[in-house]
């Protein structure tokens, strides 16, 4: 027998990056009295990961819950909220979350309207038949245009194939920072209109409380004291702490398990409980080796739920043991065994990632949903004490029906100033981009919509920001696999390479600076084959940057003019990954990262270049 659990609502919050999703969740938690009156609370509470706070994006989906009184019945209704990433590279998180909820809040910036990654995340919600509440946020912006934003959002629903019920979406206007919402552009002093809309418009979970227990694992966390935690929504039945379970693995085999500890969510805390019923989002602790997508069920009725499907990766990189002369100086973990263990451990909760061994025991192929997806993994590992080297990102090709080579294409949405439109159009054309749409934004900028091979976007962002003087905005999302677009050149510059081992001097660097832009300052240890700058020349340039000025016994009345360097380009990890050429590697350690040539010896590298030219 199926019933509605009217005491629960399960919702996801989805939005484009920086449309105020995490800030709105903060306000919802505060107004639901999750915190004590005198409790000090940080901003962006849900972005608990250091990388999330630094980058200002949500990377990992997280669960929280609030209790809101229903004004019609007078009873408390628990609202389970899942904060999801807005970046397409973390689509694996989004796809899992949609299996746990019955509806979604779609946040759209009142000035910017729906953006590229709004499209990606919304498509996932609509494809699962979820009811969506549109929240037009940031109503306090001077350039806010809610009517235009609403029309564009409706057009997007239609374009993504929403059914009649989904296109008749409720609309709430909000200011997440001030914690205000309203049914019209006139906002009330609180978020009560938003809470009421969730209670009235999001369907309660329809459950079978008396059927045998069944849950699919949609997320995994780790507890230092109680081991792996399997997170998911109970599909049917009831679970009690200590209950025996059957774990149906992805290959169909069945393993006995026991639900040693059981948690539900309240505010930001996990609350230990003795039992939970269908419709509730729970965490089961003390399991061994459980994986995302597996089903936990009653041992007497072991029936598997559909496994979670996640789109395949489109970009790959080679991770290898650090082979530079500086290997072992700065890292805690650097052996192939430790590297392999860490990469395969990542697969337990990063379902969009793939790891494969190679012919060499010292290197591994790691595939992900984009450069950012892999860059976050690299940054996380270096902070944990790992040191390793990585290759330039490459796209993953596929074979078509007739043996035709297919490559991934992406939608790119660009906003730039009228002065730089010509430069951007030229850059995109060189990378096989096809212009789909172009129009003026209300703020005076120009919007360009492109379809472009993923290859064309590798290493593009830094060049794009330079060309647009840091003012351009680009958002991309995977579109499809299509026929190979032909050869293209991603980088039209070459590297300045250290000639010998030693420590850089101002005198040596000044000679190199005349030939390009430097990446290192004076007094830095370098080794032969390490990239220390960028040159516009036709080929790489080897320079002795450790050379010292010869001293003479000639005395001068005037002191030598002090040599000064014009400026060093300090590269971030993302920029260093983008910079890499096919014959270069990035050495990553907890303290630094260095670009280097695959072949360090200058003479050997020259011979190889000659062989490549005549071969």
Task: Name, of 22-31, 69-78, 129-138, 215-224, the range with top average pLDDT.
Answer: 129-138
SS (H, E, C) 225-273: CCEEEEEEEEEECEEECCEEEEEECCCCCEEEEEECEEEEEEECEEEEC
pLDDT for residue 7 is more than 70: yes
pLDDT for residue 88 is more than 70: no
- Asked, colleague to colleague, whether 315-395 and 398-483 share their fold, the answer is yes
For residue 99, give every residue at least 6 positions away whose Cβ sits within 8 Å of its Cβ, in sequence order, or none: 128, 216, 218, 232, 233, 308
Selected residue with higher pLDDT from 470 and 337: 337
Q: What is the pLDDT of residue 122?
A: 82
Listed by start position, the domains of the chain span 3-204, 214-297, 315-395, 398-483, 494-614
For residue 504, give every residue at least 6 positions away whose Cβ sits within 8 Å of its Cβ, in sequence order, or none: 520, 521, 522, 523, 524, 526, 532, 545, 546
Report the CATH number of the 3-204 domain: 3.40.50.300
Residues in the chain: 615
Q: What is the pLDDT of residue 334?
A: 87
CA distance 55 to 89: 14
Q: Are 296 and 284 in contact (CB under 8 A)?
A: yes
CA distance 382 to 572: 14
Q: Binning pLDDT at 50, 70 and 90, where does residue 176 land?
A: confident
| Mean pLDDT, residues 257-279 taken together | 87
Q: Supply the mean pLDDT for the chain.
A: 83
pLDDT tens digits along 391-450: 999 999 988 778 889 999 988 888 899 999 999 999 999 899 999 989 887 778 898 999
Q: Are 382 and 333 in contact (CB under 8 A)?
A: no
**Of the candidates 160, 198, 220, 236, which has an alpha carbon nearest to the alpha carbon of residue 11?**
198
pLDDT tens digits along 524-583: 899 999 999 998 888 888 889 888 776 555 544 444 445 667 778 888 888 888 889 889
Helices and strands: H and E segment counts in the chain: 15, 38
- % of the chain with per-residue pLDDT over 90: 33
pLDDT for residue 33 is more than 90: no
Q: What angle do CA 396, 409, 99 make, to 5 degrees?
A: 80
For residue 385, give the DSSP letter: T
For domain 494-614, the CATH class is: mainly beta
Q: Are 86 and 92 in contact (CB under 8 A)?
A: no
pLDDT for residue 389 is more than 90: yes
| Mean pLDDT, residues 207-221 taken together | 87
Directed axis angle between helix 146-159 and helix 116-127, to 10°?
Answer: 50
CA distance 10 to 4: 13
pLDDT for residue 597 is more than 50: yes
Q: What is the pLDDT of residue 58?
A: 43
Q: Binning pLDDT at 50, 70 and 90, where does residue 615 land?
A: low
CA distance 414 to 416: 6
pLDDT for residue 293 is more than 60: yes
* Known binding-site residue numbers: 18-23
CA distance 499 to 501: 7
CA distance 109 to 21: 10
Conformation bin of residue 176: beta by default, left when phi > 0, alpha when psi is -120 to 50: alpha
Lowest mean pLDDT among 40-54, 75-89, 123-137: 40-54
pLDDT tens digits along 40-71: 444 444 444 454 444 444 444 467 888 888 88
| Mean pLDDT, residues 116-140 taken together | 84
Report the CATH number of the 214-297 domain: 2.40.30.10
Asked whether the CA dihedral 83, 86, 87, 91 is positive or negative, the reply is positive
| Mean pLDDT, residues 500-529 taken together | 88
* Known binding-site residue numbers for GTP: 18-23
Strands 8-15 and 76-83: parallel
CA distance 350 to 344: 10
Lowest mean pLDDT among 215-219, 289-293, 467-471: 289-293
Q: What is the pLDDT of residue 198?
A: 93
Q: Binning pLDDT at 50, 70 and 90, where does residue 221 land?
A: confident
Which helix (H) or strand (E) covers residue 574, if one does? helix 573-579
Q: Binning pLDDT at 50, 70 and 90, where does residue 364 land?
A: very high
Q: What is the pLDDT of residue 391?
A: 94
CA distance 12 to 94: 9
Q: What is the pLDDT of residue 514?
A: 83
Question: Does the domain formed by 315-395 have CATH 3.40.30.10?
Answer: no
Instruction: Say which CATH topology domain 398-483 has.
Output: Alpha-Beta Plaits (3.30.70)
| Mean pLDDT, residues 317-329 taken together | 92
């Amino acid at each position: 027998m199926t019933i509605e659990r009217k005491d629960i609502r399960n919702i996801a919050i989805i939005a484009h990056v920086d449309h105020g999703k995490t800030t709105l969740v903060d306000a919802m938690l505060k107004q639901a009295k999750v915190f004590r009156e005198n409790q000090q609370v940080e901003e962006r509470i849900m972005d608990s990961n250091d990388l999330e706070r630094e980058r200002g994006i949500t990377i990992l989906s997280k669960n929280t819950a609030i209790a809101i009184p229903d004004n019609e019945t007078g009873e408390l209704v628990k609202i389970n909220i899942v904060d999801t990433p807005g970046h397409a590279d973390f689509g694996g998180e989004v796809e899992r979350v949609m299996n746990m909820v019955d509806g979604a809040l779609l946040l759209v910036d009142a000035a910017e309207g729906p953006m590229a990654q709004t499209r990606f995340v919304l498509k996932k919600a609509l494809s699962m038949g979820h009811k969506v509440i549109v929240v037009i946020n940031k109503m306090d912006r001077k350039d806010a245009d809610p009517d235009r934003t609403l029309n564009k959002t409706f057009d997007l629903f239609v374009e993504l194939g929403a059914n009649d019920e989904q296109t008749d979406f409720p609309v709430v206007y909000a200011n997440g920072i001030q914690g205000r919402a309203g049914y019209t552009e006139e906002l009330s002093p609180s978020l009560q209109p938003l809470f009421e809309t969730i209670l009235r418009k999001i369907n309660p979970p329809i459950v079978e409380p008396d059927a045998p227990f069944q849950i699919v694992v949609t997320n995994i966390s780790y507890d230092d004291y109680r081991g792996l935690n399997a997170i998911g929504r109970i599909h049917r039945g009831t679970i009690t702490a200590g209950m025996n379970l059957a774990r149906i693995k992805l290959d169909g085999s069945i393993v006995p398990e026991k639900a040693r500890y059981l948690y539900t969510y309240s505010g930001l805390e996990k609350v230990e409980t003795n039992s939970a019923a269908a419709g509730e989002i729970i965490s089961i602790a003390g399991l061994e080796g459980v994986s995302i997508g597996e089903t936990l069920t009653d041992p007497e009725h072991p029936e598997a739920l559909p496994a979670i499907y996640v789109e395949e990766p489109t970009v790959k990189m080679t991770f290898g043991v650090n082979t530079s002369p500086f290997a072992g100086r700065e890292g805690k973990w650097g052996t192939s065994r430790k590297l392999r263990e860490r990469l395969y451990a990542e697969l337990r909760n990063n379902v969009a990632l793939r790891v494969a061994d190679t012919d060499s025991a010292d290197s591994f192929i790691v595939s992900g949903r984009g450069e950012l997806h892999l860059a976050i993994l690299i940054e996380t590992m270096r902070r944990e004490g790992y040191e390793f080297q990585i290759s330039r990102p490459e796209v993953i090709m596929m074979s078509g029906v007739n043996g035709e080579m297919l490559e991934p294409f992406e939608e790119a949405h660009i906003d730039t100033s009228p002065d730089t439109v010509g430069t951007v159009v030229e850059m995109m054309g060189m990378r096989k981009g096809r212009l789909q749409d172009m129009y003026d934004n209300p703020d005076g900028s120009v919007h360009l919509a492109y379809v472009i091979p993923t290859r064309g976007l590798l290493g593009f962002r830094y060049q794009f920001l330079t060309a647009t003087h840091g003012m351009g905005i680009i958002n991309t999302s995977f579109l499809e696999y299509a026929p190979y677009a032909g050869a293209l050149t991603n980088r039209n510059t070459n590297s300045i390479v250290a000639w010998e081992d030693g420590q850089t001097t101002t005198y040596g660097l000044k000679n190199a600076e005349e030939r390009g832009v430097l990446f290192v300052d004076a007094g830095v240890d370098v080794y032969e084959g390490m990239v220390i700058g960028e040159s516009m020349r036709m080929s790489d340039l080897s320079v002795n940057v450790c050379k010292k000025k010869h001293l003479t016994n000639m005395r001068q009345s005037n002191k030598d003019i002090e040599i000064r360097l014009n400026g060093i380009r300090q590269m971030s990890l993302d920029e260093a990954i983008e910079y890499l050429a096919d014959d270069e590697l990035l050495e990553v350690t907890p303290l630094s990262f260095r670009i280097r040539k695959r072949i360090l010896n200058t003479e050997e590298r020259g011979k190889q270049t000659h062989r490549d030219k005549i071969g």
